[in-house]
Amino acid sequence: MIILHIIPTCNPEYGGPIEGIFTSAPALRAQGCDREIVSLDMPTDPWVKTSPVRVYPMGNPSPAYHAWKKRIPFLRYGYSPAIVPWIRENAKRYDAVIVNGLWNFASLAARQALVGTDTRYFVYAHGMLDPYFNKISPVKAFFKQLLWWASEGRLINNATSVMFVTKEERELAKTSFWPYRARARVVPYGIVDVSGDAEAQIKSFRAALPQLGERRFLLFLSRIHPKKGCDILVEAFAKMAGGDPDLDLVIAGPDSVGAVKELQEVAAQRGVADRIHWPGMLKGDLKWGAFRACDGFILPSHQENFGIVIAEALACGKPVLTTDKVATWREVADNNAGFVENDDLPGVTRLIEHFLSLSPLEKQEMSKRARATYLTKFDMGSMAPELIEAFRTSQAA
């Protein structure tokens, strides 16, 4: 079986959608399922060259386009005259086509090329149908509704299935845009188990962040973005820092909206600048070294349809501190693999407070439960056959 993924970019900074494709590739390949990608990237982009999955980059080569792209916000959603004819010509080579995400030219191209054909295509919304975004940006929501009528709604409502990774994500999607007639299906989602030399990975991470030294720390690893609750995290850590003077905070990830400088200023004002570290985006052994070295993982997001970093933390046996706006919070709470609170300052403060109250033995037991939660809920190696079967069948559940 071979699957084509349509996605705006293979840049790892795009976050969960491309990370999920990359990390699950070995497990699916072992089950006889290969995958390829068509994207709006340029052939010269470094992430295209290093992609573990074959990429067909359809980026617009026009210098004028790239010049105007910096000035006109709409053009940042991408445009390429090559991708629609490429999909039309090549879709028949694949057993299934998966459209990853919405509200970009890649999804619009998929609608143009696939709707009305006999190609079996699926859509992963990746949380982009969550009504949270309509609430925080009503103006964008208005224009999205127009685009829904013109394109995205037709893509969704004509798909073989629209794939959701949790029941909660599926139910929330029903309330965002009209008309909504998707054949929805909840499918397993997870990551391949962590590998590599743990001691070497930890050593590499600490060497890359010498100011941290050998100090203990909580880890945040995701895009640094308002929806991730980084501002609340800094404030909550400042409130609780006195509870454990030997515990630092590492906030790792790409600064996608230029928020780090302001967050650093807040940390300085609160007197904890020397205890919060900003290594930027971590990949490979550095990322796994950060997970393995931390005391616990914290993700205070206001919205996450899955949160692949939650699965990664659990795979490393780390207690997870998160909010009830992360769709996988029930797995954390039901298995006592961490703590869950509201996505506000009192809630995130309580997360840290709960963690600091644990004894060493209680932390050790919670770590064991975290690892067990990964193995039963998020191990792509064991769920790969079920996921492949979902793409073989066209009936929505």
pLDDT in tens, 165-174: 988 899 999 9
Dihedral-angle region of residue 12 (phi above 0 means left; psi in -120 to 50 means alpha; beta otherwise): alpha
2-190+380-394 and 198-378: identical CATH topology: yes
365 compared with 390, residue with greater pLDDT: 365
Length of the chain: 397
Fold of 198-378: Rossmann fold (3.40.50)
Give the sheet arrangement for strand 216-221, strand by strand.
Answer: 276-280, 247-252, 216-221, 296-299, 320-323, 338-341
192-239 residue pLDDT tens: 999 999 999 999 999 999 999 999 999 999 999 999 999 999 999 999
> Would you list the domain boundaries of the chain?
2-190+380-394, 198-378
CA distance 125 to 182: 11
Could you say which of 2.160.10.10, 3.40.50.2000, 3.30.465.10, 3.30.300.30 is the CATH number of the domain covering 2-190+380-394?
A: 3.40.50.2000
**pLDDT confidence bin for 394, thresholds 50/70/90:** low
Largest CA distance in the chain: 62
pLDDT score at 23: 86
User: pLDDT tens-digit profile of 11-49?
Assistant: 998 878 998 899 889 889 999 999 999 999 999 999 999
Report the side by side order of strands in the sheet with 34-39. 54-57, 34-39, 2-6, 96-100, 121-124, 161-164, 184-186
| Residue 74 binned pLDDT confidence (cut-offs 50, 70, 90) | low
Q: Which residue has the higher pLDDT, 167 or 341?
A: 341
User: Has residue 318 got a pLDDT over 90?
Assistant: yes
| Segment 283-310, tens digit of pLDDT | 999 999 999 999 999 999 999 988 899 9
- Higher-scoring residue by pLDDT: 76, 61: 61
pLDDT at 76 > cutoff 90: no
Q: Which residues pair with 123 in a beta bridge?
A: 99, 162
- Give the mean pLDDT of 267-279: 98
Dump strand ranges (E) for 22-95.
34-39, 54-57
* pLDDT number for residue 395: 45
Instruction: Provide the pLDDT for residue 67.
Output: 79
